[in-house]
Amino acid sequence: MRIDLDILRQRADIAWESLRACALCPRKCGVDRLVGEIGYCGGNGRWGQGEAEPECVYLSSAGPHFGEETCLVGRGGSGTVFFSGCNLSCMFCQNAEISQGGEGMWVPISRLASIFLSLQNRGCHNLNIVTPTHFVSHLLRALVAATENGFRLPLVYNCGGYESVETIQLLDGIVDIYMPDFKYTDPRIAEELSDAPDYPQHAKAALRAMHRQVGNLQTDGPAGTATQGVLVRHLVLPENLAGTEEAMRFIAEELSTETYVNIMDQYRPCHHARQRPALSRSITAEEYQAAVDTAIRYGLHRGFPKKRSYSALW
């Protein structure tokens, strides 16, 4: 969608003021990030890398990415920008060095805007902002500067699903493609594995808000490149810890059976996963097929293979 600059500037101002008592995510830490206070996400320097000016983001990497969903990659790649830090503490995180370990560097908002424009100039099909929640205020300011200089790519909001509806509402008319994880449906599991017992309720509310804004995933062109809509990621965990049955029911009945759902099979023990015996192994072929069969039973049919080779699963 084409961003209305006046609306974008207004939302950027609102989001920036919200940093005085940060409530960008469901944790609602209430810290004043404009004076350097640090909340759960580490958005102002938790990792011992030195305090940054409020006008900086902590960035891990940026560039064309060809490992995302096919509908995002196309020929030119998805222009990914990986922020460091996270509002979750997943014990099995495959990017823990970025989300929890402090890998990255401080980058001014002006430089972030230049990165957006560079990705567009390199032929990427979209701007894919990864783990953006704690830097939404900075993201909006960077989008203002980039849009003033000709930025026009679809914006992909690639998040963990632990979102505040109020923040999602700020992004209405700005985000083209929402790509949230739907990690858990059991509060007890969410607390144990990600320190977020309220994850299921907030993820469901956020998914509803996202779907109201952009609807089912739409594609365009011969390559079927995504232009707008919701793409949900659901990582299958051993012993059904992700609560796949309820996740698929919710998506089908409360969003749409046309929802694009990437049922992911790539779980492997990472970070602190081996502290939980059930997480000490990859999933089996049977566990993955059970997740797929569940999705099909609820009428879902987009984004995942109905049958596949499991030679990579063990």
Domain assignments of the chain as residue spans, ordered by start: 5-20+56-297
What is the identity of the amino acid at 90?
A: C
* DSSP SS3 for 284: coil
pLDDT at residue 97 in the model: 84
Query: 140 phi and psi, to 5 degrees?
Result: -65, -40
Q: Which residues pair with residue 130 across a beta bridge?
A: 82, 158
Determine contact, residues 89/131, Cβ cutoff 8 Å.
no
The residues facing 106 across adjacent strands are 58
100 contacts 151 by C-beta, under 8 angstroms: no
CB 169 within 8 A of CB 223: no
* Eight-state DSSP code of residue 279: G
Q: Which CATH entry fits the domain spanning 5-20+56-297: 3.30.1240.10, 3.40.50.620, 3.90.1150.10, 3.20.20.70?
A: 3.20.20.70
Contact indicator for 56, 109 with CB cutoff of 8 Å: yes
Q: How confident is the prediction along the chain (314 residues), in pLDDT tens digits per residue?
A: 577 899 999 999 999 999 999 999 999 999 999 988 889 988 765 544 555 567 899 999 999 999 999 999 999 999 999 999 999 999 999 888 888 877 888 999 999 999 999 999 999 999 999 999 999 999 999 999 999 999 999 999 999 999 999 999 999 999 999 999 999 999 999 999 999 999 999 999 999 999 999 999 999 977 789 999 999 999 999 999 999 999 999 999 999 999 999 999 999 999 998 999 999 999 999 999 999 999 999 999 999 987 654 444 44
